[in-house]
Chain A
Amino acid sequence: MPIQDLIGQEFPPFDLPVERGKIREFANAIGDDNPIYSDPAYAAKNEFGGILAPPTFVATKTFWRQGESVFELAGFDPHFRLHGEEEYEYFKPILAGDVLTCKSKITKAYERVGQRGGQMTFIVSEFTFTNQKGEKVLISRTTSIQTEGAVKP
């Protein structure tokens, strides 16, 4: 199947419950000790009224998504898979206790000859997150790359 045929492919929608413990664990993994991610008493006093999710927290969607991943759909080999770019647009804060619904689709798919890795396949997936109040909170876009071999640093 030509890779371009993947454009427009939608993934099954899924819910992402934003859990306080997961936020704390995620903030710890990125080395961020900001109490807004871990201390309910501190967080209750801020303008948002609760514990916030860090800017890249929706990476945890991996635990909740359903069906085939973009890699499975495109037949990407995890040995030779690269993350090219990541982009976020923020519309509303994401708080512990929120339940986000994620709708996602492939928006771009193309091939290109790379400088180091031979033939490269690029796929851009777009994820739109809405909270339990129906507010759009975040859009993320991921550029995934499949190379023919390991990319030398």
Chain B
Amino acid sequence: MEKKVLYLEDIRAGDEALPVVVANITRTHIVKYAGASGDFNPIHHDELYAIRGGNDRVFAMGMMTAGFLSHMITDWVGDGKLRQYRVRFARQVWPGDTITCKGKITRKYTKEGKNFMEAEVFAENQRGEKMITGSIVAEVLSKSAA
């Protein structure tokens, strides 16, 4: 599997990532992430518990969606290239939602001999509402150094 490499010379502000779509979130997605991550807050898997807390039903952990978003990011910038990843959880993800993860380059620069890109990243639902907003810094290669 050959991966596309991002080069400083080829990228510019405004370039967008290939989106990653996770269609129709189910309770199975949520319990898989619970088991994998160790987040057993019952609000994410126990319907009655979630309802007692004033919610309509269980909802996903923000970190599950941050994981989906990281998949989009590493497919885009490459393995081991991420230097910073920040996310803010704006809205809950509910069973039945479809999540689309997107990214757009905001700036590129060279610092201490290394090349970097910054991008805004977000995950939105089927209504176009942003569930997670965030930003990344990733190291990119230069053709002159390659």
Residues on A lying within 8 angstroms of B by beta carbon are 22, 25-26, 28-32, 34-36, 42, 46-48, 52, 54-56, 59-63, 78-90, 93, 149-151, 153
Is the beta-carbon distance between B43 and A36 smaller than 8 angstroms?
no
B: number of interface residues (CB 8 Å): 44
Is the beta-carbon distance between B74 and A54 smaller than 8 angstroms?
yes
A79 → B minimal CB distance (Å): 4
B75 contacts chain A at the CB level, 8 A cutoff: yes
With a CB–CB cut-off of 8 A, which chain B residues contact A60?
Answer: 36-38
In the bound assembly, the distance between CA atoms of A80 and B86 in angstroms comes to 23
Is the beta-carbon distance between B61 and A83 smaller than 8 angstroms?
yes
User: Of A32, A48, A79, which contacts B74 at CB under 8 A?
Assistant: A32
Is the beta-carbon distance between A83 and B32 smaller than 8 angstroms?
no
Is the beta-carbon distance between A83 and B54 smaller than 8 angstroms?
no
Inter-chain residue pair count (beta carbon < 8 A): 124
With a CB–CB cut-off of 8 A, which chain B residues contact A93?
Answer: 80
Is the beta-carbon distance between A30 and B1 smaller than 8 angstroms?
no
B62 contacts chain A at the CB level, 8 A cutoff: yes
B12 contacts chain A at the CB level, 8 A cutoff: no
In the bound assembly, the distance between CA atoms of A29 and B91 in angstroms comes to 20
With a CB–CB cut-off of 8 A, which chain A residues contact B74?
Answer: 32, 34, 54-55
**8 interchain pairs (CB within 8 A)?**
A22-B36, A29-B37, A30-B68, A31-B67, A48-B80, A79-B43, A79-B49, A82-B89
